[in-house]
Amino acid sequence: MSEADEADRSGRIAAGGAQEPPLHRLLRLMAALRDPDRGCPWDVAQTPATIVPYTIEEAYEVADAVARGDRADLRDELGDLLLQVVFHARMAEEAGAFAFDDVARAIGDKLVRRHPHVFAPDGSPLPDGSPLRDPGEVEAQWAAIKAQERAARGAAESAPDPLGGVARALPALARAEKISRRAAAYGFDWGNAAQVIEKVREETDEVAEALAARDARAVSEEIGDLLFSVANLARHAGIDPEAALRDGTVKFERRFSAMAAHLRAAGGELGRSDLPAMEAAWQAAKRDETTRGT
């Protein structure tokens, strides 16, 4: 009997008419899709490397649904993201590495380990509840526990990387914020946001100098430094730089569409209007937003 047959047999409706649990059904369906003989050729052909782009895309679609406040879409996108977890776990199980239960067990253990203010070591809730009431205290404790875990993992290494463990596949702006936060945990940081603003101005000047020198490589390097400093500024301000940039881009899209509408109302159109006309329409779009309070 194949793995898919076994999964199908064990996943059928249990005696007494009890309905198959949704997660069991999802795991069974994935096992069937990956069956080398009877499964879906596309699913069978996938590897962890080929699936990763879809995993990243689904995570972004979850974030988009949250940003739009669309609960129905969020439900669907969370399902798509869960499918990615199941898919990766199934491929790992086929390779003899780990299974979905191991993934769930590991994250459960991590939650208990990193919430000593909520759980006893065995995972049972503390009888008197959490002694911490301030989210800032919780974040500080979480960071300290993560640092201890990293130290334990790096104890066997001759020269552990103090900034290691931050995924390179993260969006560049998000990774910059995480790297700077990690460095700050060692005390390598500016004292306040005002000092970071000065650094941003310094980096902006260096971008201008590189542009004036027509040095393309230097321009790229200095813009990278500028963006890293902006990520630091966002961290000091308590702002998620990815969310801020995403919201800023949405605002630009909204105003650009409104600008186009103003141009049409004045008898013009995009692509045929000069820059002064577009700037006037842009300012009108901004005034409209101010009037509406958006």
The answer to the question of residue 233 being in a domain is: yes
Residues 251 and 232 in one domain: no
pLDDT of residue 18: 65
In a shared domain, residues 248 and 227: no
- ∠ CA 178-181-182 to the nearest 5 degrees? 85
Domain that holds residue 218: 170-239
- Cβ atoms 32, 24 nearer than 8 A: no
Give the pLDDT confidence score for residue 150 in this predicted structure. 74
Residues 221, 187: one domain? Answer: yes
Q: Supply the CATH number for residue 225's domain.
A: 1.10.287.1080
Question: How do the pLDDT tens digits run along the chain, 294 residues long?
Answer: 345 444 445 545 443 446 899 999 999 999 999 999 999 999 999 999 999 989 989 998 998 899 889 999 999 999 999 999 999 999 999 999 999 999 999 999 999 999 999 999 999 999 888 888 888 888 888 888 887 877 777 665 556 677 877 888 788 998 999 999 889 888 899 999 999 999 999 999 999 999 999 999 999 999 999 999 999 999 999 999 988 998 899 999 999 999 999 999 999 999 899 999 999 999 999 999 888 876
Give the residue from 195, 222, 239 where a domain finishes: 239
Does the residue 220 lie in any domain? yes
Two tokens at 197?
A: 């603003």
Q: In Å, what is the CA distance from 236 to each residue of 168, 181, 197, 276?
A: 22, 9, 10, 37
| 98 occurs within a structural domain | no
pLDDT at 31 (0 to 100): 97
Q: Within a domain: residue 21?
A: no
CA dihedral over 157, 159, 162, 166, signed as positive or negative = negative
Output the six-digit token pair for 182. 């990690």
Give the end of a domain, one of 203, 220, 239. Answer: 239
Domain count, the chain: 2
Q: Compute the distance between CA of residue 186 and CA of residue 150 in angstroms, rounded to an integer.
A: 13
Q: What one-letter code names the amino acid at 198?
A: E
Q: Are residues 206 and 248 in the same domain?
A: no
Quick: pLDDT tens for 72-119: 999 999 999 999 999 999 999 999 999 999 999 999 999 999 999 999
What is the pLDDT, as a whole number, of residue 134? 85
pTM of the model as a whole: 0.65
265 and 227 in a common domain = no
